[in-house]
Chains A and B, each alone.
Chain A
Amino acid sequence: MLVLEDINVYYGAIHALKGISFEVNQGEIVTLIGSNGAGKSTSLKTISGLLRPKKGKITFKGENLANIAPQSIVANGISQVPEGRHVFANMTVIENLELGAYLRKDKAGVKQDLKRVYELFPRLLERSSQLSGTLSGGEQQMLAMGRALMSKPQLLLLDEPSMGLAPIFVKQIFSIIKEINSSGTTILLVEQNAHMALSIANRAYVLETGKIVLSGDSQKLAASEEVRRAYLGG
């Protein structure tokens, strides 16, 4: 579904992604794990068109994504929940959700998806007319995820959804990710919380300073000595 081939991305002189290749197949949960500064967010930003690769190719459903505008990438069915959530804090919960459906013209479908988002996240319904800046961190994460779902994505990119959340919220968020996936949305999940990520993913890639160093079935990776030592604390 999504294929990255030899992607190289720079921030000025900093070579942040040094030729990474990976793929996500329809229906999967794929996770990209790695420590802080490995290049996980850079990868997702590049897929969403916020950053341009200097070299390499990204295709989605066979179509080349290089040099197409971020709004066309959203229109093509890729939506991202960015690291740090980035909700529009000066707007209400419902306004945030409506912005998620910015490109959609099918009013009935949008209404239906809004209902679905409220079912997934009942908290958001309770707080729909509240300014989103007043929500707790966990609620903001739910809002960011709900907002991304409002574009009806085929592929959902999640950048560290568990960051800074209390354990109870982390559990809840991960079970919702599984639920989203089982209703047909393919997921690319970026995490530092390797343990949780590996537990729900089908396949995983391990990123280290801009390079993919390991990849494979997530159960096998979770059991491997290298991953245990570097990412699972033992």
Chain B
Amino acid sequence: MGSVTLQFLQQIVNGLSLGSIYALIALGYTMVYGIIKLINFAHGDIMMVGAYVGWFATTTLHLSFLPALVLAMMASAILGVLIERIAYKPLRNVIRIASLITAIGVSLFLEYGGMLLVTPQVRTYPPVFPDTIYNIGGIIVKYGDIVMIVTSIILMVLLHVIVQYTKIGKAMRAVSFDTEAALLMGINVNNTISATFAIGSGLAAAAGVLMGVYFNTIDPLMGIIPGLKAFVAAVLGGIGIIPGAMVGGVFLGLTESLVSGLGWSTWRDAVAFLILILVLIVKPSGLFGKNIREKV
């Protein structure tokens, strides 16, 4: 294989790893938006909290990857539910900008509260996995890449099953589509919104742990950039649309990797936001979005 092709395939592998993280975070953004029409700016920070819980679980508690992942997801799920109940729920029926500003407040609270609690010091994740490297015809695939991609795929399949086939998943879709009609079915809307925050935050925590494992270091402000990127991914796929978030995340990860691979890594972040601007100009409803919501 030519070295250009190899380079390209190498960046695809890197891009899929990065993209699966963006996708996991983007799912929470999109689910929360779908159900209460709020951009939860604190979502990236919930991911950060997940990363810290995972770090604590692997260092202090000496847990292995899987239990640490589950613990982090549960902790963030609870955090997400509490944030919604305490900060967003009282503002549900007032002007939208109030909850947006509150979301920014919650984000800052988690970032700087986190600094107080765990200090701004960068922490290092212990080596959870063997640093085995597979050389597949010249393409370098790290053990971590495989874990990242496989974990993300499993979580997304799980999410799909929950949303499509379980009672709570159907309730989530019903409330997202038409809250008043959902109430008439006897669906408990508050509990359904809580479940959405729990699932979205749990997925973000999984992304946080994976980032810690993959990039080794975490800090209280680590959620900001991936949070923004995942927001771009969610908008790209069509905010509120679950498959859109998955595709948007992977697409963004691939684009960034390819841009880096071309030697323009300094442009990596700029490209993400360029994509956001283009989407907003060309098709604000995103790749999977309909331009107008049908009202029958």
Contact = CB atoms under 8 A, between A and B. Distances in A.
B296 A88 contact: no
A28 to B, nearest CB: 22
B17 to A, nearest CB: 32
A89 B185 contact: no
Contacts of A31: none
Interface string B183-225: 1111110000000000000000000000000000000000000
A109 to B, nearest CB: 15
User: Is the interface on chain A under 10, 10 to 19, 20 to 34, or 35 or more residues?
Assistant: 20 to 34
A19 interface: no
A71 B188 contact: yes
A74 B184 contact: yes
Interface string B166-190: 0100110110011011111111100
A79 B185 CA distance: 8
A208 B74 CA distance: 54
Given A95-B170, A102-B167, A74 B186 contact: yes
B294 interface: yes
B177 A82 contact: no
B170 A85 contact: no
Given A90-B177, A91-B173, A102 B184 contact: no
A151 interface: yes
Contacts of B177: 88-91
A86 B178 contact: yes
Contact of B186 (A75, A95, A98): A75
B296 A102 contact: no
Contacts of B296: 84-85, 87, 89, 133, 137, 140
Nearest to A144: B181
Interface in A140-181: 140, 147-148, 151
Contacts of A100: 185
Contacts of A148: 184
A56 interface: no
Give chain B's interface secondary structure class: helix
Nearest to A164: B296
Contacts of A48: 183-184
B184 A98 contact: no
Interface string A126-144: 0000000100010010000
Contact of B170 (A71, A74, A87, A98): A98
Nearest to A81: B184
A214 interface: no
A140 B181 CA distance: 14
Given A91-B173, A99-B170, A80 B294 contact: no
B181 A86 contact: yes
A151 B182 CA distance: 13
A95 B34 CA distance: 19
A196 interface: no
Contact of A50 (B173, B178, B180, B186): B180
Indicate the member of A86, A100, A148 with the most B CB atoms within 10 Å: A86
Interface string B140-177: 00000000000000000000000000010011011001
A103 interface: yes
Nearest to A98: B170
A137 B181 CA distance: 17
Contacts of A102: 167, 171, 185-187
Given A133-B294, A140-B296, A88 B184 contact: no
A88 B171 CA distance: 11
Nearest to B183: A70
A137 B174 CA distance: 20
A137 B182 CA distance: 20
B186 A103 contact: yes
Contacts of A84: 296
Interface string B66-81: 0000000000000000
A82 B182 CA distance: 11
A226 to B, nearest CB: 34
A147 B283 CA distance: 35
Interface string B222-257: 000000000000000000000000000000000000
Given A82-B184, A89-B296, A103-B185, 15 more contacts: A48-B183, A50-B184, A70-B183, A71-B183, A82-B181, A84-B296, A87-B296, A89-B177, A99-B185, A100-B185, A102-B185, A133-B294, A137-B296, A147-B185, A151-B186
22 contacts: A48-B183, A48-B184, A70-B184, A71-B186, A79-B184, A80-B184, A82-B181, A86-B180, A86-B184, A88-B173, A91-B170, A91-B177, A99-B174, A99-B185, A100-B185, A102-B185, A102-B187, A103-B185, A133-B294, A137-B296, A140-B296, A148-B184
